[in-house]
């Protein structure tokens, strides 16, 4: 067991900036590149912790904003912290709540020390800033805490992006001061919209604050893929190579592979579970709606050759039937498959890096898979 925060770069692809690594936390090691299933409300929707382990999840994500509203940090703390509350003994990363707060554009007021906003649940007046976000995450007991930042949307004027970067850096400095130094890690978040110089400036100033890792935020907010990848490229360039890098909110397979090639180590996205709830399967060839009539008598598994519990035991016809009669088992089985497929991609990427063939793997995958998945 290494000290929490230790990040081992075990290899770098000779043709790209892709890295094979391992990050140590209070609840064990995380092999990178890694995908983190999203458990916003202290659960990855429809999945039991044992099922998450069975599909290969090493770390999951929770959310400060939602958990503080319901059930409340007092309840979770009384139950022994977030890990014990949800029965998950592996690492947890908590988002600071910044993205959720700034999504409430009509219900918030930005102040120097944080954001005043109305709860999306009952309209109650609430306040969240760097002090509050750090305190809540410390009490939740997450392995990785995120600094409170201002997430801008696309398109965003340069003037506003400058203001958001200034606020993000000011709040990040306070988060760095409030680092609990108890084994919990704290990551800073690079903002700057589509402006390369702002991204670079933000990354440099965050690096000087000495965080345990760094994230690229403010992406996958409606911008074209090329703009998103430029933001990643410009954000990562100025980050230290000895620290983990996390791209927030990205789960499209093609985009994750491109980002790994730029030097990204960690990802999260609601896509696998959200697609499952809407009856859509992610496969290694395409994304398709299992609910469609063409699969009514289809005796094949969701994905031929897949070894997940869903595909080893059930047909497309059965999954379609469950979804169309609104049986929750259909969503559960499709969630198992989608997570298995997404986490399986990370296994394949890590194997390609171990074997020194990542560039070839990337080229072949992108050639075969041009659809957003």
22-57, pLDDT tens digit by residue?
999 999 999 999 999 999 999 999 999 999 999 999
189 beta partners: 215
Mean local confidence (pLDDT), 308-320: 98
How high is the pLDDT of residue 371?
60
How high is the pLDDT of residue 118?
85
CA distance linking residue 70 with residue 66, whole number of Å: 6
CA distance linking residue 162 with residue 150, whole number of Å: 11
Give the pairing of strands 60-63 and 34-37: unpaired
Least confident interval from 94-108, 179-193, 217-231? 94-108
* pLDDT tier for residue 368 given thresholds of 50, 70 and 90: confident
Please give the share of the chain, as a percent, with pLDDT higher than 70: 99
Mean local confidence (pLDDT), 144-158: 95
Mean local confidence (pLDDT), 175-198: 98
The set of residues, in sequence order, having a beta carbon less than 8 Å from that of 85 and lying 6+ positions away, is 42, 76, 79
What is the edge-to-edge ordering of all strands in the sheet holding 125-128? Answer: 108-111, 114-118, 125-128
How high is the pLDDT of residue 104?
76
Dihedral angle at the C-alpha atoms of 207, 210, 211, 216, nearest 10 degrees?
A: 0
Catalytic residues: 95, 268
pLDDT above 50: residue 61: yes
* Maximum Cα–Cα distance across the chain: 60
Mean local confidence (pLDDT), 146-168: 95
How high is the pLDDT of residue 362?
97
pLDDT above 50: residue 373: no
CA distance linking residue 260 with residue 28, whole number of Å: 22
CATH superfamily of 7-269: Queuine tRNA-ribosyltransferase-like (3.20.20.105)
pLDDT above 60: residue 66: yes
Least confident interval from 68-82, 108-122, 212-226? 108-122
CA distance linking residue 106 with residue 308, whole number of Å: 43
Question: pTM value?
Answer: 0.97
How high is the pLDDT of residue 100?
83
Please give the share of the chain, as a percent, with pLDDT higher than 90: 91
CA distance linking residue 44 with residue 66, whole number of Å: 14
How high is the pLDDT of residue 1?
83
Q: Where are the domains of the chain?
A: 7-269, 271-359
């Amino acid at each position: 067991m290494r000290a929490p925060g230790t990040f081992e770069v075990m290899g770098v692809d000779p043709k790209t900036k892709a890295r094979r690594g391992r990050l140590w936390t209070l609840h064990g090691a995380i092999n990178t590149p890694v995908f983190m299933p999203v458990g916003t409300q202290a659960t990855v929707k429809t999945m039991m912790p044992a099922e998450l382990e069975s599909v290969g999840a090493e770390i999951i994500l929770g959310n400060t904003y939602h958990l503080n509203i319901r059930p409340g940090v007092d309840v979770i703390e009384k139950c022994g912290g977030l890990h014990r509350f949800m029965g998950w003994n592996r690492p947890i990363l908590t988002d600071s709540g910044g993205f959720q707060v700034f999504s409430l554009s009509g219900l918030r007021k930005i102040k120097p020390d944080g954001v005043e906003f109305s709860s999306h649940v009952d309209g109650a007046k609430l306040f969240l800033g760097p002090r509050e976000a750090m305190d809540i995450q410390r009490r939740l007991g997450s392995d990785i805490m995120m600094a409170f930042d201002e997430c801008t949307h696309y398109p965003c004027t340069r003037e506003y992006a400058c203001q958001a970067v200034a606020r993000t850096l000011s709040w990040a400095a306070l988060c760095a001061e409030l680092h609990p130094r108890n084994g919990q890690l704290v990551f800073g978040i690079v903002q700057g919209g589509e402006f390369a110089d702002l991204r670079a400036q933000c990354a440099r100033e965050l690096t000087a604050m000495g965080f345990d890792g760094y994230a690229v935020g403010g992406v996958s907010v409606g911008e074209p893929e090329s703009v998103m990848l430029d933001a990643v490229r410009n954000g990562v360039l100025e980050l230290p190579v000895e620290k983990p890098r996390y791209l927030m909110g990205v789960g499209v397979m093609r985009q994750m592979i491109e980002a790994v090639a730029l030097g990204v180590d960690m990802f999260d996205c609601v896509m696998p579970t959200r697609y499952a709830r809407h009856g859509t399967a992610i496969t290694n060839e395409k994304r398709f709606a299992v609910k469609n009539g063409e699969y009514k008598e289809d005796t094949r598994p969701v994905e031929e050759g897949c070894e997940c519990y869903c595909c080893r035991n059930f047909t497309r016809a059965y999954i379609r039937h469950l979804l169309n009669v609104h049986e929750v088992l259909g969503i559960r089985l499709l969630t198992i498959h989608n997570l298995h497929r997404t986490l399986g991609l990370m296994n394949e990427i890590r194997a390609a890096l171990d074997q020194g063939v990542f560039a070839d793997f990337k080229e072949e995958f992108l050639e075969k898979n041009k659809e957003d998945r």
